[in-house]
Structure 1
Amino acid sequence: MERKKTIGRRKIPLVRIEKNANRYSTFSKRRSDLYKKASKLVRENDVDLGIFLSSPADKVYAFVHPTQNAIIDRFMNLKTDLGEQIVAENSQSESINDRLNELDEREEVAKEKFLFLSQRNKTRDKGRWESIDHLNADDVMKFQAWLDSGEILLKDQLAEASSSS
């Protein structure tokens, strides 16, 4: 059994159709396909759509949803809608820029505070525990006496607290 040899799907070059009858027929087929696709687009996406065509015989065809007046008004007010959209986007970007500027200022303040604190840590007086390594023998004896007296005072206060309760 031999298979039928066909050309199948191939790319058709876009050239003007010379015969008027063929041109009218092709226009009608393509117009109906275009209307079907437009109907599907309106049905699935709930959009306003208007298609206006002029045939080779200078007849005008139209597909509109919901009405011609609605489509025309939408088209005429397109610049206004876009202007409002641009204004809204600009106000949004201005608020974002304001927020970025505020965050930059906060970052500068935080850097200044960090530098101040790091300088303060370098220059501050060292406490007892930080400078204990630098004590001489006399200072160590004084510090030991101070700790012992603190221990005795704490024991006395603890004894008083336990006897009174």
Structure 2
Amino acid sequence: MSKKVTKGKKKVEMKEIENDVTKLTTFSKRRLGITKKASELATLTGAHVAVLSYSPAGKPYAFGSPSLQSVTDRFLGMETSHFKGNTGPMVGAHSQSRINSLNQEIDQLNQKLEDEKKKGKIMKKKLQGVERNGWWEVKVEHLQKPDLLELEKKFKELYIQLEHSKFCNKKSGI
């Protein structure tokens, strides 16, 4: 058994990306990653977090927990928090609790979305294999139970069509 040889983790030189399409793609992927990390930080620690960035095309993107406005007001010393004033500490604590639970729900939904994307990629690969070979030539060892049931259904349909075809050929004398 041969050992898999990889290049390992390499240090990436920090320099500006020249290609505009690559630059936009990289920005999009990194923006989603940093937003997710900021949301996790706010959820896990209760910290007030704000992230503001502009794409290479000049489009602004912002994330704030509990909100971008409250974090910037607090940073600038103009704190007009929803949790102060006439509302009282109980309302503020309830609001913060609700915000935290919504942040956790967003994280769970993002995880489900990632899982569904992975399933979609797997299904796409399976379909590519089916298109190349034909559905009847798929390796059954790699299929899940729902896929096997679908394959069985297709075989039954094919059998019925062949029986019908044989019956029609006998009737016509072929």
TM-score w.r.t. structure 2 length?
A: 0.42
Q: Which has the larger radius of gyration?
A: 1
Higher RCO structure (Cα 8 Å, ≥6 apart)? 2
